[in-house]
Amino acid sequence: MTGILPRTRDPLVRIGALAAIGGPLLYAAVVGVTGYLTPGYDPLTQWISELGATGALYADLFNVLGPGIFGLLSVVFAAGFWRALKGGPLAFAAAALVTIAGIAGILEGVFPCDPGCIPVTMTGSLHLTLGLVPLLGMLAAMEIFAFIVRKDPGWPRFFAFSHIMVTLTIIFALAFSSGALFDGLYQRVMIGAILVWVMAVGVRMWRL
């Protein structure tokens, strides 16, 4: 197939690409809309998970459409991601890490944080623990991916791009973990770097 944006012939890669593009857009929209509609919510200083915290005004909407659907789409992306990398143990490892990250994201919606994301209940503590899984899993998947495609002409510049996104994520993860005033901003940049990487990979998968 020809054209400005030729489509891959593999249905699994195509579906995975759509999930990779649509998932981050949906997540960003849900965070933005629920944050805007929640009275007094400050995205610069408050965590994203506070939008789905116990007792939050739009908690159910956020937890289902945010971490829930996004986590599910991440699992779909992982399947196409593995196929796009043409299999092999490293590709399987990267896809498995994305899958684990997606499942952990779903569980974050099932076990919301306590108000203010201050761990009081077991559910709230579990939410915070689960939050580490997608972060660490995606960082590892991005590094493995970078190694796989380092000399692959089908993935031009993705070696350097992946390292840039990993570095940016780590920098803002450290800033976020420091308990600084602008935790909300740092968390958004941290997660945003990962989402940009996912979308970029999805676009490239669509064009393979």
146-190 pLDDT, tens digit per residue, is 999 999 999 999 999 999 999 999 999 999 998 778 999 999 999
Residue 29 lies in a domain: yes
Domain range for 52: 11-207
Residue 2 lies in a domain: no
Task: Tell me 96's DSSP state.
Answer: H
Residue 4 lies in a domain: no
Which residues, 6 or more positions from 204, have their beta carbon under 8 angstroms from its beta carbon? 155, 158
Q: What is the pLDDT of residues 53-84, one digit of tens each?
A: 999 999 999 999 999 999 999 999 999 999 99
Q: What is the pLDDT of residues 6-23, one digit of tens each?
A: 455 799 999 999 999 999
Q: What is the pTM of this model?
A: 0.92
Q: Does the structure show a pLDDT above 80 at 102?
A: yes
Residue 191 lies in a domain: yes
Residue 51 lies in a domain: yes
Residue 69 lies in a domain: yes
CB atoms within 10 A of CB 193: 23
**Quick check: 74 and 137 in contact, CB under 8 A?**
no
Helix (H), strand (E) counts: the chain = 7, 0
Residue 9: per-residue pLDDT: 76
For the chain, what is the domain count? Answer: 1
Q: What is the pLDDT of residues 131-149, one digit of tens each?
A: 999 999 999 999 999 999 9
Residue 8: per-residue pLDDT: 52
